[in-house]
Amino acid sequence: MAVSDDHKLQEAIDTLRDSGVRITPQRHAVLEYLLNSMIHPTADDIYKALEGKFPNMSVATVYNNLRVLRQIGLVRELTYGDSSSRFDYKSSEHYHIICEECGKIVDFHYPTLDEVESLAEQVTGFDVSHHRMEIYGKCDECQQVETQKH
Amino acid sequence: MAVSDDHKLQEAIDTLRDSGVRITPQRHAVLEYLLNSMIHPTADDIYKALEGKFPNMSVATVYNNLRVLRQIGLVRELTYGDSSSRFDYKSSEHYHIICEECGKIVDFHYPTLDEVESLAEQVTGFDVSHHRMEIYGKCDECQQVETQKH
DNA sequence: CTCTTATATTATAATTCTTATAATTAAAGT
DNA sequence: ACTTTAATTATAAGAATTATAATATAAGAG
């Protein structure tokens, strides 16, 4: 693990401790996995990835911990129509672009759309907390596969 | 029903017919309900709303029809973490702002974020098809309830 | 270091949303 | 009115997530 990642993990653990949340080995592992994961895993992904290390861990534990991490603000939950939610460590603000063919999720850095939020506040009278935006399309690989077929 | 809504319904039915989709009473009712609904209903909302008119209708019929309407492009599916999907008749392009307290969804008109899409294409190499954006916050009513408590 | 207590985990069952299956019914063109 | 093909119904199955109750354990107090 890179030093910076190690530092991020320590930072996250401090955040947990400050919130009065206990640092259990399972919770630590879920957090660490999310931090190092580039694939925006589902709860089941995490469960499967950790079952070697924690053979007796329950799926409920994964869900419980993801809920705690989300409530603390360390983790973001991404939901889609068909399948299960995906979870994303909130390292820095970014948006996602998602391949409709293979489901791959790629980070896409773009300035935060603050203007949309403030306009929405004015027009609707809501007290805005945040927004989500996702872009959908076909990734490079899937485009090439498509081309080869013809 | 307003004349314009009636016209929209006729237009939608024509679209169905052109796609070779049969106009059954149940399908007609689901479509009409969505067109007149301002609440972005769930499949179950629609099922409950129509069970007076169609006592023998199956939930599967609602889901089947929603899928068909979505595939044709008449209806948009909105998914969230916890609960069930919501469905929205695609009358005109708009975004949604969602109350995190009571779940209310309000339409929010804003110019389409084409720029984000084209930049995403350049940066990621994706062939972009569309995007979604939602704004979250607390609606006016829920803010007032909050104020009264203190 | 040990004790205590509240919290977390486990195993399991229950729930909820959605889809699959097979038999029956009905839309729409001929 | 007939025929064909798609839609509906009733039911069951499936998958994702949450609830429950018993057990285990993190972390602070003494």
Contact in structure between A15 and A74 (CB atoms under 8 Å): yes
Q: With 60 as the cut, is the pLDDT of residue A95 above it?
A: yes
Answer for B14: CB within 7 Å of strand C.
no
Q: Do A135 and B126 touch (CB under 8 A)?
A: yes
Contact in structure between A98 and B91 (CB atoms under 8 Å): no
Q: Do A137 and B121 touch (CB under 8 A)?
A: yes
Which pair of structure tokens corresponds to residue B5? Answer: 């809504």
**B28 labelled ligand-binding:** no
Spatial distance from the CA of A145 to the C1' of D3 (Å) = 42
CATH 3.30.1490.190 boundaries in chain A:
92-150
Q: What confidence score (pLDDT) does residue B121 get? A: 92
Going from the C-alpha of A124 to that of each of A131, A134, B28, B79, B93, the distances in angstroms are 14, 22, 32, 22, 17
Answer for B43: CB within 7 Å of strand C.
yes
Q: Confirm or reject CATH 3.30.1490.190 for domain B92-150, answering yes or no.
A: yes
If you measure CA to C1', which residue is closest to nucleotide D11? B58
Q: A45 CB near a chain B CB, below 8 Å?
A: no
For all residues of chain A together, what is the average pLDDT?
87
Q: A80 CB near a chain B CB, below 8 Å?
A: yes
CATH 1.10.10.10 boundaries in chain B:
1-90
What DSSP designation does A42 have?
B
Q: How confident is the model at residue B46 (pLDDT cuts 50, 70, 90)?
A: very high
pLDDT digits (tens, 9 = 90+) for A54-65: 999 999 999 999
Q: What confidence score (pLDDT) does residue A13 get? A: 93
CATH class of B1-90: mainly alpha
Answer for B43: CB within 7 Å of strand D.
no
CATH class of A1-91: mainly alpha
pLDDT digits (tens, 9 = 90+) for A28-80: 999 999 999 878 899 999 999 999 999 999 999 999 999 999 988 899 888 87
Contact in structure between A36 and A72 (CB atoms under 8 Å): no
